[in-house]
Amino acid sequence: MKTFYSSEFWNQGLIQLADNDYVVIDSFLPKELLNNLERKFILNENKQLFEPAKIGSAEVEKRITEIRSDYTYWLDRERDSDIVTFFEIVDELIRNCAEVLYLSLQGFEFHFARYPKGGFYKAHLDQFDSRSNRMLSMVIYLNHDWAIGDGGELRLLEPCIKTIEPLYNRAVIFRSDVVLHEVLQSNKLRRSITGWILKRPSGVDLLGL
């Protein structure tokens, strides 16, 4: 089985996640994969494949522009085989979550997220009352030359307060069920890969879930 990162890399990041409910990892993806993801993102933009993002679970989801104004393109492992390395890295993350945090995880869901100028997402949790299997949230930023004043920061509100700049190839992983967060208004186009690692119920683990 191919590995992309060392055990020490995952141990350091995941222990920080357990201690703080979030972790920031810079220079996360390999350069070739990062370039492939960017090309695919821009190609899908040009084909106008992004759809207005909605809130709520699949049964009751709706578009409410006062809450969020981003656009998404959902990724599919079989259809999007040109970025298979990305899915393999997420598989590796899941394996290491089992080894380091004793989490029983069974899958994931990811999309490209496009925030146009002026885009935002008001404070929310990523786990729904009616659907509690989202365990970890993950964001990887694709923003070249981000500078102070460009906006689009990820702001964590609970259980800690932290503002995280959406820097190129920065990954942020946090608990979906407890970390209240928002995306501040972006003053220019903001691109990211956003998704969730899904839980299979299995008793109590290192995160107390």
Cβ neighbour number for residue 78 with a 10 Å cutoff = 7
Is residue 208 situated within a structural domain?
Answer: no
Residue 119 domain flag: yes
DSSP label at residue 178: T
CATH number at residue 20: 2.60.120.620
Contact of 115 with 139, CB cutoff 8 Å: no
pLDDT tens string 81-98 = 999 999 999 999 999 999
Any domain includes 1: no
pLDDT tens string, the chain, 209 residues long: the values are 789 999 999 999 999 999 999 999 999 999 999 999 999 999 999 999 999 987 765 555 565 667 898 999 999 999 999 999 999 999 999 999 999 999 889 899 999 999 999 999 999 999 876 667 899 999 999 999 999 999 999 999 999 999 999 999 999 999 999 999 999 999 999 999 999 999 865 444 556 55
* Confidence (pLDDT) at 203: 47
Domain for residue 61, yes or no? yes
Q: Which of 31, 4, 44 is nearest to 191 (CA)?
A: 44
Burial class for 19, CB neighbours closer than 10 Å (0-12, 13-18, 19+): exposed
Could you tell me which residues come within 8 angstroms of residue 145 by beta carbon, excluding any fewer than 6 positions away?
Answer: 168
Looking at residue 58, its pLDDT comes to 53
Q: Is residue 97 part of a domain?
A: yes
Rg from Cα positions in the chain: 16
Specify the pTM.
0.91
The reported pLDDT for the residue numbered 204 is: 46
Exposure of 70 in the CB half-sphere (CA atoms within 13 A): 27
Residue 64 has what pLDDT? 67
Q: What is the pLDDT of residue 131?
A: 66
Residue 168 falls in which region: left (phi positive, over 0), alpha (psi -120 to 50) or beta: beta
Tell me what pLDDT residue 62 has.
65
Q: How many domains does the chain divide into?
A: 1
* 28 assigned to some structural domain: yes
Do the domain assignments include residue 205?
no
Q: Which residues contact 130 (CB under 8 A, 6 or more apart)?
A: 57, 59, 60
Domain-embedded: residue 209 = no
Domain range for residue 79? 7-199
